[in-house]
Amino acid sequence: WMLEFLQLGVIALVVDDTLFVHGGLQDESVGHVPGRDSEITSVREWVVALNAWKDKELSEFVRQPRWQKAASGQRSRGGASLIEYGTPGAGKKTVIYYNPFDDGNPVKRSEKVRRFLDKSGIKCTISGHQPHGSTPTVVRHMETGLLAITADTSRSDTSGIGSKVFNPLNNRGHAIS
């Protein structure tokens, strides 16, 4: 069922002027699609190419799900690049594995990220990945009007000791992100 879930899902999505990604954008991930030499300068074109790359990786996984050893001795399997893209191994070129906080505090997106989004008419980004409490974090960028929302509240388990003591209206239960 996980394979079907991934096949139906996307890495990034643009709805009107809003970009949805799991982790977020940083300078190195702007316009980057693994396996391509050049950056894509339009957010919408980049999202299409990134999701097409994800689909290709999943097709390769279906074709070769098990590790195989090449004549060179190197082991590989289909979809290995996609698996790496969702881990620290991808470095800063991923939109899945990213922490938009500095020592737990929200920060503005970089100038490069803001320009990339603004040029394509993106006014809002919504991401998750980095659990940080019981409410989403909102960062407004006054110079471009960008609204960056980070909304991973998966640590908001109301069964934890003291959650009802400190906030009796906390009725969300276990959150899954």
Helix (H) or strand (E) holding 106: strand 105-106
> Which of 131, 104, 115 is closest to 23 using CA atoms?
131
- Report the alpha-carbon distance of residue 108 to residue 114 in Å, rounded: 9
Bridge partners, residue 126, by sequence: 20, 149
Mean pLDDT by 10 residues, the chain (177 residues): 91 97 93 95 98 97 93 91 91 89 88 96 91 81 92 62 53 50
pLDDT score, position 177 = 45
Two structure tokens written together for 153: 């509240």
pLDDT score, position 103 = 86
Read off the DSSP letter of residue 62.
Answer: H
Question: Model-level pTM?
Answer: 0.84
- Report the alpha-carbon distance of residue 145 to residue 66 in Å, rounded: 47
Q: Give the torsion through C-alpha atoms of 34, 35, 41, 47, to 10 deg.
A: -50
Give residues with Cβ within 8 angstroms of 13, minimum separation 6. 19, 20, 47
